[in-house]
Structures are given as structure tokens and as C-alpha cells.
Amino acid sequence: MVYVLIFVFVFGVVIGSFLNVVILRYGTGQSFVKGSSRCFSCGKKLSWHELVPIFSFLIQKGRCRGCGSKISWQYPVVEFLTGALFVATFLQLSTSEVDSWRVLFLWVIVSLLIIISVYDIKHFIIPNKIVWIFNGLAFAMLFCGFFYQGPSLVVLPRTVLGSFLGGLAFFSFFALLWAVSRGRWMGFGDAKLALGLGWFLGPSQTFSAFLISFWLGAVVGIGLLALSKYSLKSQIPFGPFLVAGAVISFLFDLNIFGLLYGG
């Protein structure tokens, strides 16, 4: 079992390294698979031993071998996070029943959510194509026969309908926040993301995810204000908080509404 988990982690780290390329090249017209990686400062082509995920960053102490300029923390962090979340989703499923389709499906979902979060942190916008791929998969899952069991993957026709309507309700809530604040509290991208999260998680987990994301957002916002790194006017992207809330709520199968009201 330990060997399986190590394999899953290493596989996740390698996928994470690919996600970094997607985040970097999305919207630039460059291919995600062609073209070699280069240093941003000196343009030095990176050799295979400079492209080993996590290790290269640690060995080179986060600097380019050619010119010594700093390499972004994004690279090792995304690689590690992808590995860790692949392991976590794998473990979460193994409590019920591991089915290779389900595992693969969840890893694709995790990968899309990581791209959305990191891209949002870097560019203050949720990448449109990626969020619609996520929403499409969540929609397909709702109606797909072979995801019939499991802790949070929906079962009954009633639940499918509930999740579908829940997603629309969550979308409307965020779209309203976006409209009322004229995009200052939320971007429209957050509303689109809420739609897919509602479909993917179902109403009770989505509700928990949103509570967690607002709490996390408040804590981080206050923290940044206290460190006076930001003023009240500065923008903090909300997408990463939504994703963090969703991941926590999914992994721990949370139902905060049920806990509060004994449901």
C-alpha cells in the first residue's frame, strides 16, 4: 500500500509539473506539449536534470544555473500540491471502493481546479475554457451511470436533480454578488466556478465549501491587512478560496448545514 501511495504521489508530482506548463502557456497561443522550457531571464534551455520536479528547485536553491535569477515558488508548490491531492483523493476513494475510472476522473477534476486557482492568483481571472471543461465534466458526472456510488458522488435521481438545481442556485448567488458589487467582490468567473462546484459536490457539500471559502477568505484578507501588504482596495482573487473550500469539503465529506441544524 505504501508503495502504491508513493507511486501515486510521484505520478501527481509529474502531472503537477505539466500543470505548471499549462498555467504558464494558457492564453499565449503556445503549445502545452511542444517547445522546451527555458529560463525567463537568460533564455537558457533547461536540460533534463533541471526539469526534475521539486528536486531541481531544491538542488539549485531556487535559482537558474545559467544566470542565477530566482525561479518562482509556484513550480515546486504546484508540483507538491498536485502529488498531495492525488494521494488524498485516492485515499478518500479507497474507503469506499477504488475504481480506476473514478480515480482518473477525480484526478482530472483536481488538475483543472489547481490550474484555475493558480491562474487566478497570477492573473486575477479564472481561465474561461478550463472552468467550462470543469463544468462540462461535473454536468456529465451528474448523468453518468457508472458514478453510482461513493461518499459524495451522486446516487438517486432526486439527488441528481437537487445537485443540478443547487448548482444553478449557487451560480445565481455569485452572479448576484458580482452584479451588485459591479465585479468588486466577485468576478463573473467565480459564478461560473460555483455552477460546476454545485454540480460536482451536491448542495450540502457545496454549502459547506462556500462557508469554508468565505472564512478562509476573511482570515487571509485580515492577515494580509494586518501585515499591511494590501489595502482594503486591493484585489484578492476569490477562486483559490472557492477551490480550497471545495477540496476540504470533498475530502472530509462535510455537511456544515447538517451539523448546525441537525439534518
Among the listed ranges 60-68, 191-199, 211-219, 236-244, the one in contact with Zn ion (CB under 5 A) is 60-68
Helix axes 203-226, 188-201, angle to 10 degrees: 140
Residue 134 CA to residue 93 CA, distance in Å, equals 20
Query: Is position 39 an interface residue for Zn ion (rule: CB under 5 A)?
Result: yes
Residues 6+ apart with CB under 8 A from 98: 90
Q: Is 71 in the site for Zn ion (CB under 5 A)?
A: no
Q: Which of 64, 115, 116, 191 binds Zn ion (CB under 5 A)?
A: 64
Nearer to Zn ion, 42 or 58 (CB): 42
Residues near Zn ion (CB under 5 A), total: 7
- Residue 68 or 258 having the CB closest to Zn ion: 68
Q: Which stretch binds Zn ion (CB under 5 A): 56-64, 146-154, 173-181, 235-243?
A: 56-64
66 contributes a contact to Zn ion by CB under 5 A = yes
Q: Binder to Zn ion among 4, 6, 58, 67 (CB under 5 A)?
A: 67
Answer for which of 30, 41, 94, 96 binds Zn ion (CB under 5 A) is 41
Nearer to Zn ion, 46 or 248 (CB): 46
98 close to 5: Cβ distance less than 8 angstroms: no
Give the DSSP H or E segment for 224: helix 203-226
Instruction: Show the CA angle centred on residue 85, arms to residues 80 and 259, nearest 5°.
Output: 135
- Residues near 80 by Cβ (< 8 Å), separated by ≥ 6? 13, 16, 54
- Name which of 64 and 191 has its Cβ closer to Zn ion: 64
Q: Which stretch binds Zn ion (CB under 5 A): 14-22, 58-66, 162-170, 212-220?
A: 58-66
Among 6, 42, 59, 140, binds Zn ion (CB under 5 A): 42
Q: Which DSSP state fits 21?
A: H
What is the rounded (10 degree) CA torsion for 114, 116, 118, 121?
Answer: -150
User: What end-to-end distance do the CA atoms of the chain give, in Å?
Assistant: 36
Binding site for Zn ion (CB under 5 A): 39, 41-42, 44, 64, 66-67
